[in-house]
Amino acid sequence: MTLAWRNVIAMLVNPELRRAYAEVVLAEAVAKPLTDVQRGKALAKLERAGFIARSDDGTLTAPSESLTALLAEAPVRPVREGPQRFLTAEGQIDRYPANGEERRVFLAWIANETFTEGEILTEPAVNERLSVYGPDVAVLRRSLVDHGLLERTRSGSSYALAAQPGASAASEAPAASAPSTESDRHAEL
């Protein structure tokens, strides 16, 4: 389980959570105490980092002010909305939406961001463009085809952005019968 550093700092600022954490740490320390040299080095590092403070009389404290300041300085990660909420900060797919309609909207967004209407691409070219969304381009490419967002020849050698319903008058025309040969299909792309 990965804890975000922001959450860790926020928990340490809370006096009750900090005490509870200290109790756990102290219970472990009793089982395996530090040597005087180890303790001295550790305290010096904590003091330099501002995690603990030494008063004039030599008493050590753990002030929360430095932690609160650290939280205030740190940028807050923007809340993502729409399709971007399924991407990492680097723009790679973090997860696919579980809801079927959300998945279709997400995939349509990727298709429209990645491909231009009318261009015909080879499979390697499609893979290269989809690679910005993560390493498993085959799954993404297949999902785009399965959802009718990307069309391909029967051989899978060429791909094109599928016409979206309502995009043009041609899309309102009745569907033609399936092409009889691969060359007919390629011409249709």
Per-residue pLDDT tens over the stretch 1-41: 344 677 777 778 888 888 887 888 888 777 788 888 988 89
- The residue extents of the domains of the chain are 5-73, 82-167+176-188
Query: What is the Cα gyration radius of the chain?
Result: 29
Of 1.10.15, 1.10.3470, 3.10.20, 1.10.10, the CATH number of 82-167+176-188 is: 1.10.10
Task: Tell me the residue ranges of DSSP E strands in the chain.
Answer: 53-54, 60-61, 120-122, 150-152, 158-161
Give the per-residue pLDDT at 188.
Answer: 47
Does residue 179 come out as left (phi exceeding 0), alpha (psi in the -120 to 50 range) or beta? beta
Q: Is the pLDDT of residue 183 over 70?
A: no
Q: Are 141 and 178 in contact (CB under 8 A)?
A: no
Q: Is the pLDDT of residue 59 over 80?
A: yes
